[in-house]
Chain A
Amino acid sequence: MYSGSAKERGRLSWTPGAAFAALLFGLLGAFAPHEAAAMPQAAAAFCSVYPEAKACASGAAPCAMCHTTPPQRNAYGTSLAARIAPGQPRPLAVDVFLSGLRDALKLTEQDDADGDGFSNISEIFAGTFPGEAASFPVSLTCKPGEARQASQQRWNVCAYDPIYAFKKVSLDVCGRSATRAELSTFQGLASNRKRWEPALSAQLDRCLSTHYWLGKEGAVWNIANAKIRPSHTVKAGQNPGPVPLADYEDDFNLFTWANIGDHDVREELLAQYYVKRVSDDPVKLAIMTEAEVKAVSRRASQNVPQERRVGLITTRWNGAINTMFTAVPRTTAAQAYRAFLGYDIAKMQGISSVPHEPIDFDAKGVQAPQCAACHATLDPLTYPFTRYNGIGRYNYEAGRLQNFVRSDGKRVTEAPENGILLGHKVKDLMEWGQVAANSDPFAQKVVGDYWKVLIGRDPETHAQDQAEYTKLWQGLKSPDAYNYRVEKMLHGLILTQAYGRP
């Protein structure tokens, strides 16, 4: 098993291409980063040597395999770099580097680069990081004698403990401790899985309808905080701030709607409607009619026409706080990439460079080598956002970029509406939303958000979590399992060992 803080590492481990900058910058790039950036085969080359490694589940190794903060190398990266084509002048040619990398990987397999007592190769296959001493394989399996002893203790730390899970569900989802009467009833069922499992599930269902879970500033609402990033100062609508620009409650309501009941969580990125909170206690949400949408006061109105709406990424709030006055709203795209797909470009996550990018239509200097490493990914995924106005009009406007010629130069109008997301060409933001919502990273992010709330850590932190986590996010996508229903997925989550073993 794996221990250590691995939030970023975990994200990267699922990022095709995220590792490029790592192996590039690190193994060659410390000397000539721009030349390294032209060699995206490095991460894949690592995985061609170790296709069974956990870090290669998506085909490319994560940055953290060899780096601390790229281009800085960790102990493993440093060890590798020294063994790649020794004696050859740096920077290395691509083919020399790739053949040298293969040899260097093999040569260092039995070394223990980070000195944590485990060989590099054992860490690679255990899913831990050979260059980080705090990350090493540990066992979560009890020996037979321990298991027997543990089963007689108040907390059975060697197995799923239904009473422990019952207490946790009450606190995590109902927001209160189970009463003695509830516990007493449940304890009577705890010896028979056929009896306790439905009772646990029923408790979860009861809790899922509580104000604690669904209400304003409740658990689901708070999961959306980092995605919506509310700021009372610029809030419009009810309880407005001093500079009312937009009402983030529309966003929270839509998010909550997509995450509850029998609703499809992809509506976060697909909905072409808005949701109103009819009452907060008890919580009652409803889709607004278009007449209701049009009737909202001008100060908080949603102006994007229905056929151009793309869930939470085209709301007035999103435009107000992310796009603001920018022609090519990279902040908006980067926030969507981070919030809904789990990739934080500022941390070199989700890097998947597009050839011949960035073009720099708005003359921001992003072709500089130190910028291009990220902007070759960021800019193509930003173009579909360029037709949506931020502060002021908050609407869709096909010829929007004409308004920016004076500030961003003539070429800004050449920025296309189509773009590239996760390696897929998308013709506009609606397709962007479709590709994102149906992607693996979206399902991973949805499950990961709830995993963190209920289990208390990121799913990637523990290698033995991987099987359970993977089963959950794949189940979220599967029509035969959870079919994008969050509440169904939560019924699976509370039955995991990660949740129910004390």
Chain B
Amino acid sequence: MIRHPLIVLAALFALALPAAAAAAGPSEVPRNSLDPRVKLKDGDRYLRDLSAQLEIPREEICKELLQYDCFRDAFRIVLGGVDAADLGVNEPLEQEALTAPIALDRVALRVCVTRVERDLADPKHAVLLRGAGPKGTSPSPAWVKRTVQGLYDRILARDATPAETAQLMGFYQKVSASASPADTKVKDWVTLGCFAVASSVENVFY
């Protein structure tokens, strides 16, 4: 289950976002589309992508109450799917459901928690949280930066921009200022860094 401190940190991270975004500067603000028609990457494709990106088998990547597949059984219609035979929903909802962001955040966090738990359980095959240094010590800035790059590389298939890197590194500073043990801080930061990138507009829409 998601632990309370993680939620607090998530809120902290959200607060940090506007400032970091502003730091990106006007030169990085793209011109608006003349014909905006951004589409939601529905839950099926969203989890399929995360499964490949984070190396978790699709059937294991996200289980509500540890038993129901997050898309097929839990949030199918909310996350843009259809269920013609049982529910009579022949086409995706014309407009995304009000609860879609909640469901999506929940799925993203569940996936990232799963990934980090697996990394801790099997450090030799860790995907995100690896090589952080001896237990109980704080990782180096180089490791933090490398991890940020790894998140963007895996999830968004591109390099993080300097602004994005600074944003997540700055977030690490905030997390590391907490009173938690060093290992917990690292774990929480990687989990939420993963969550931030996995739930970003860029990863959810196309």
Contacts and interface: CB of A to CB of B under 8 A. Distances in A.
Contacts of B158: 180, 183
Contacts, number: 79
A179 B157 contact: yes
Report whether over half of chain B's contact residues are helix, strand or loop; otherwise say mixed. Answer: loop
B33 A155 contact: yes
Contact of A231 (B33, B37, B88): B88
B33 A176 contact: no
B90 A225 contact: yes
A158 B34 contact: yes
A178 B88 CA distance: 32
Interface string B24-57: 0000001111110101010011001100100000
Interface residues of B, number: 25
A501 interface: yes
Interface residues of A, number: 41
Contact of A222 (B32, B41, B82): B82
Nearest to A178: B157
A171 B41 contact: yes
A502 interface: yes
Contacts of A456: 37, 39
A150 B35 CA distance: 14
B91 interface: yes
Contacts of B45: 171, 175-177
B11 interface: no
A457 B37 CA distance: 8
Contact of B84 (A171, A176, A225): A225
Contacts of A501: 33-35
A154 interface: yes
A82 interface: no
A229 B89 CA distance: 9
A157 B34 contact: yes
B189 to A, nearest CB: 24
Interface string A462-502: 10000000000000000000000000000000000010011
Nearest to A164: B206
Nearest to A235: B85
Contact of B85 (A1, A183, A230): A230
A334 to B, nearest CB: 16
Contacts of A155: 30, 33
Contact of B31 (A146, A222, A230, A462): A146
A150 B31 contact: yes
Contacts of B84: 222, 225, 228-230
A232 interface: yes
A176 B39 contact: no
A154 B30 CA distance: 7
A140 interface: yes
B83 to A, nearest CB: 9
Interface centre among A139, A180, A228, A462 (most CB of B within 10 A): A180
Report whether over half of chain A's contact residues are helix, strand or loop; otherwise say mixed. Answer: loop
A341 to B, nearest CB: 17
Given A171-B206, A176-B48, A222-B82, A142 B34 contact: yes
B157 A177 contact: yes
B31 A140 contact: no
B60 interface: no
A226 B37 contact: no
B33 A157 contact: yes
A231 B87 CA distance: 8
Interface string A145-182: 01001100111011000000001100100011111100
Contacts of B48: 175-176, 212
Given A171-B41, A171-B206, A231-B85, A177 B49 contact: yes
Interface in A335-385: none
Given A167-B206, A225-B91, A232-B86, A140 B49 contact: no
B153 interface: yes
B35 A462 contact: yes
B90 to A, nearest CB: 4
Contacts of B91: 222, 225-226
B49 A232 contact: no
Given A155-B33, A231-B85, A502-B33, A226 B90 contact: yes
B161 to A, nearest CB: 10
Nearest to B40: A456
Interface string B142-178: 0000000000010001100000000000000000000
Interface in B37-81: 37, 39, 41, 44-45, 48-49, 52
Interface in A112-158: 139-142, 146, 149-150, 153-155, 157-158
Interface centre among B35, B41, B88, B91 (most CB of A within 10 A): B35
Contacts of A462: 35
A456 B40 CA distance: 10
A283 interface: no
B34 A180 contact: no
Nearest to B49: A177
B34 A140 contact: yes
Interface centre among A141, A150, A178, A183 (most CB of B within 10 A): A150
A455 interface: yes
Given A141-B34, A175-B45, A222-B84, 4 more contacts: A179-B157, A183-B157, A225-B84, A232-B85
17 contacts: A1-B35, A149-B31, A153-B31, A157-B30, A157-B33, A157-B34, A168-B206, A175-B45, A177-B206, A183-B158, A225-B82, A226-B90, A231-B85, A232-B85, A498-B35, A501-B33, A501-B34
**Shortest Cβ-Cβ A-B pairs, 7 listed:** A225-B90, A225-B84, A180-B157, A232-B85, A230-B85, A226-B90, A157-B33
